[in-house]
Structure 1
Amino acid sequence: MADTAALDAAPIAAALPESRDDKALQRKIFLGLAVLLVLAPLVLYPVYLMKVLCFALFALAFNLLLGYGGLLSFGHAAYFGMASYLSAYSAKMWGLTPEVAILLGTATAALLGLVFGALAIRRQGIYFSMITLALAQMAFFFALQAKFTGGEDGIQAVPRGALFGAIPLDDDRVMYALVAMVFFFGMLAIYRIIHSPFGQVLKAIRDNENRAVSLGYRVNQYKLAVFVLSATLAGLAGATKAIVFQLASLTDVHWSMSGEVVLMTLVGGMGTVFGPIVGALVIVTMETYLAQFGAWVTVIQGCVFVLCVLLFREGVVGLIARMLRKPL
């Protein structure tokens, strides 16, 4: 169903060409987000906010691949989860400072993305998706069997440490400041990629791959590049999450995590700049405040997804963008 929705939903970025006024509007939204990031911990619980920001960055990274690269991956949990494990392990066992541990986890995701991407891009459509799922399952079983991952127990009691060896991160508000900066940096990096010449070629490949080939573009190289970029940013989200929650577990690398990020992207709006943020906010809020319903949370999420597909395939932000005739 996710594959069908991804193919049917017309990307808003393609439908609504951007003008100078549109870019000015997007800059104002960025400024508004920056203000919200500063004020949010004064009202809401910092740990909840950090979870939203980590998953929002994860969804933004996935949207870069799906919404702008046109590649539907069912295995993005591999990069998110393995980065989480390496970040947690290096912080706990090697005593690395949190920024170095996060960078190491991110680099691990980038390397894994390069290897998996080189294999997956050899096929298209559902075959590509199935290859990514199979590779992600290999990563899951590796995490289950490897000694350093702790098996079903995961890596627990990961120390947050001190940023640059000088700023202790034990206080949730201090940790939130770091997560907010990581998220904002990741969001700006993705925005720059989307609006660069590289991003324009990606959109051309997404919309008409044969025409892009006829114009002389090396399509597979562009696909591999966006795959690695997406995996790297997903790893950044996973590595940061491990430090925040002081835990890396099989949940981070499970196939359900790959499905969850697809859900976030489609609910918020595939092919939009800010849609995945809204999607992550909706899904994480449901998981947090509906936790008392237990397994029924998954059923509720499924109902929300079905409603989105049936009523507004563009997602929440995509629908708003279409109504305003402004790319968001």
Structure 2
Amino acid sequence: MTSTAPADPRTGSPRTLDRTRLRDLPKVALHDHLDGGLRPRTLLELAAEVGHPLPADTPAALADWFFEAANSGSLERYLETFEHTVAAMQTEAALHRVAYEFVLDQVDDGVVYAEARWAPEQHQRRGLTLAAAVRAVGDGLKDGMAAARRDGHPIIVRQLLTAMRHADRGLEIAELTARHEEDLVAGFDIAGAEAGFPPSRQLDAFRYLEHEGVPYTIHAGEAVGPESVREAVEVCHASRIGHGVRLIEDIDLTGPEPVLGETAALVRDARIPLEVCPSSNLQTGVAATMADHPVDRLHRLGFEVTISCDNRLVSRTTLSREYALLVETFGWTLDDVRTTVDRAVRAAFVDDDTRERIAGRVDRTWPH
């Protein structure tokens, strides 16, 4: 499909791809953390219920605090902001509410399929079992999808269970993942501080999941360079890579044509999807400005780039806004957006029938 949208002579971006139209396009969110996307008012109310102090007492001020606190250029400092959201999500009711609102917020942004990733091991401070926590999130997602369907906006949402890479519970969470398909658990992830905690530290979990046929993604190539991505792919056999943008360091851009190093060539040729989260990457120091971000270069070089938010509260963003930034910065067209959405559909952790339903929904509602 060739876009015929007229170009703005100042920016090169198609005038028709404004933020309203981008919100209306059917989109797919693969990398969205449940504990990073709470509504500010919800966080205020949940924190008050459990007596957890917050750094601000109004929704607007709290939203400002999260965004500003995360703009340190350090992944470790960025992750510290989650102490507040996780502290407020320690009961079944809280998990249910956050999951329910996750679904409705995705619908409001035009998303037709989403994966909500979170770490059950972080939600046991008040006595919740892992299984109870997973059921609470699953029930919240189911109720959210039912509400969206009643309103005429069907959406499919699944949860990914995350193991914290600095802990030693990877195999336990992997086994939990395999046991809870009925709670909409679709796959596994590892997250947290990347430096010092390589993917192979959780190798027993990945081997177990491979044996059980459960898909998994691995955060890599965000705070650590291409070597982290290579280990995630070659040693741990990741289905997808969370972020992966530091693969650009394995590409020689000094000559007339880009030259891919071994790791970059491996990832591109194997068509390993990259879950790229542009705004989040700026906050953690991957690039200084959006114009410096490698997402467009990787996309043009044929990597399986998909676009996600990472953490909507912390980055004060939506998937529509992420795409708008790419349109405004790099002149992305309707074709570019559709290409990344189609890649995300192919990469979704769903069965073939569900994938066809998602693809059909995208195709039916996409502008032709």
Question: Considering the TM-score relative to the shorter chain, is it more than 0.5?
Answer: no
What TM-score do you get using the length of structure 2 for normalisation? 0.25
Q: Which has the higher helix share?
A: 1
TM-score (norm 1): 0.27
Higher strand residue share = 2
The structure, 1 or 2, with the larger RCO (C-alpha pairs under 8 Å, 6+ apart) is: 1
